[in-house]
Copies of this chain bind each other. A is one copy, B any other.
Amino acid sequence: MPIPTEAFFLDHRSELPLQLQLRRQIIAGVQEGRFRPGERLPSTRALARQLGVARVTVTQAFAELVATDYLRAQDRAGYYISDAIDLALDVDEVTPVAERFSWDAHLDDRYQRAQRSDRVTDWRRFRFPFVYGQADPQLVDLSAWRDCAVRALGRREFAPMTGDLYGEDDPELIDYIARHILPRRGIRARADEILLTLGAQNGLWLAAQILLRQGGDCAVEDPCYPGLREILSHTGAVIRPVPVDALGLPPEQIPLGLKAVFTTASHQCPTNSTMPVERRRQLLRLAQDRGFAVIEDDYEFEMSFAGSASPALKAMDRAGAVIYIGSFSKSVFPGLRLGYVVADARVIREARALRGMVLRHPPGLLQRTLASFLSLGHYDAQLNRMRRAYAERRAVMSTAIDTHGLSRAGGGRAGGSSFWLATPPGLDSARLGQALRDHEVLIEPGTPFFADRARGAGFYRLAYSSIPASLIEEGVDRIAQVLQRLQR
């Protein structure tokens, strides 16, 4: 494939000769890496036609560039970007860069500054990646997903799903969620009480925007999901952290004067504790009495493989005070970017209007593919496979943690995909994490989870969703060894 003729432009009103303009464009393209050694240029005829110039103009420009080694002519086959370019050559041929526009007055970098910096994008290169929330490709039924994708790409499904859906969602997916996913959490919802989102992150963001953009106080669990604190820091809200205990968020510790309370009742993030029914009742009573909204992030409910699942907080929410956030990231795969919000129809209408303005809707083909994956039973089969694998990994890790004398700091009897651990007194988990990298082990230090980051130095998380059972024992052993070395 030659470089397309559309890659070249001339300014016929410029004072620069056309031939020189063309030469400069090619040189700049090479120097900036857009044109690469060995690539073929369009024919002089085609390029002259595209540019509206005489063919000789193009021929001369090319000949000059052959002379300066930017191009190589191959008789009859045409012109190629030379393999022997010395990029230092001819720099002054390129138009000097104009004065740069000053972005200082425009950008305050607020989003970058509040951004989480603890994410490790190259976690795959670690042999022992105790990283949270990533998929294990071995557990995903790839061929079933492929079949569903192909089905969604059938002519009949294609037309409605490839159009601009404006604010709408795929009714088939909504119907399946309402009838088969939510009932497992004890939740009843009509279609107008459900909104699809780009994953749980997007659901949390939408809820925070519509409730707190204008300010007000809100409570978060401490520790909590760091991404939530990042989201809230860009609303006008004052964040009031409430320390959790072994039973999750203690309702009696919730301060007065709140607009909203964020909770991970069923599976506290990151400590894994489960809020008992009495606390849930109390929380909902307070919500009604004091008029605060409750945002429930039920981020990992499908992984409750140990013991019978408790219903969601939303299941007890007769008054409609709970905005429930679910996701397929853990149960299908994270890169899918599909989740949902369940709430009072009025909340959903407003969240839908905001979603429409920000991104319109999640891609239609993915919605339909997922609907098919769910309704054909692949989701259930995959969940069962994941639960079995996670149960095994959890058992192996639990034994290894005890054998090697690591110290548990959280609950998790209901399953999940991680353990929450404490470092020995005085040892900073960030230092532990750094030292472990040299031993091919990736852990998650506790600091980002806490309002007071210093408190997090005593904790770390080990997740097992991306590490095979066979490597867990050795990984935990390495952690124990490095812990010992650092304490000496």
A interface list, Cβ under 8 A from B: 1, 3-4, 6-9, 11, 13, 28-29, 32-34, 36, 50, 52, 95, 97-103, 105-112, 114-115, 119, 121, 124, 133-135, 137, 140, 142, 145-146, 149-150, 153, 155, 158-168, 178-180, 183-184, 186, 188, 190, 198-199, 201-202, 205, 210-211, 214, 227, 230-231, 234, 259-260, 277-278, 287-288, 291, 293, 308-309, 311, 315, 318-321, 329, 333-338, 344, 346-347, 349-350, 353-354, 356-366, 377, 380
Contact = CB atoms under 8 A, between A and B. Distances in A.
B205 A121 contact: no
B360 A363 contact: no
A9 to B, nearest CB: 4
B134 A145 contact: no
A313 to B, nearest CB: 12
A161 B335 contact: yes
Contact of A364 (B278, B335, B357): B335
Contacts of A11: 277
B115 A353 contact: yes
A335 B158 CA distance: 10
22 contacts: A1-B377, A4-B183, A4-B184, A7-B180, A9-B311, A28-B188, A33-B190, A98-B318, A101-B291, A101-B319, A101-B344, A107-B350, A115-B357, A121-B165, A134-B164, A137-B158, A142-B153, A142-B155, A149-B153, A150-B150, A162-B336, A198-B358
In order of increasing CB-CB distance, the 4 nearest A-B pairs are: A7-B183, A6-B184, A111-B353, A98-B318
A121 B291 contact: no
A319 B103 contact: no
A307 to B, nearest CB: 10
A315 B34 CA distance: 14
Q: How many copies does the complex hold?
A: 2
A455 B121 CA distance: 52
Given A50-B308, A101-B321, A150 B146 contact: yes
Looking at A201, A227, A358, which has the most chain B CB atoms within 10 Å of its CB?
Answer: A358
Nearest to A345: B103
Looking at A133, A168, A188, which has the most chain B CB atoms within 10 Å of its CB?
Answer: A188
Contacts of A259: 106
Given A11-B277, A29-B188, A357 B106 contact: no
A9 B201 CA distance: 28
A199 B358 CA distance: 10
B32 A190 contact: yes
Contacts of A335: 161-165, 363-365
Nearest to A311: B9
Given A137-B159, A359-B359, 7 more contacts: A7-B180, A33-B190, A107-B346, A161-B335, A201-B357, A337-B360, A337-B362
A140 B162 contact: yes
B353 A337 contact: no
A32 to B, nearest CB: 5
Contacts of A52: 308
A14 to B, nearest CB: 9
Contacts of A158: 137, 140, 142
Nearest to A133: B164
B4 A180 contact: yes
Contacts of A149: 149-150, 153
A120 to B, nearest CB: 9
Contact of A358 (B7, B163, B205): B205
A364 B333 CA distance: 11
A62 B402 CA distance: 46
B336 A363 contact: yes
A222 to B, nearest CB: 20
Contacts of A211: 106-107
Contact of A162 (B108, B183, B334, B377): B334
A205 B103 CA distance: 18
A199 B360 contact: yes
Contacts of A202: 358-360
A377 B1 CA distance: 9
Contact of A109 (B278, B319, B350, B377): B350
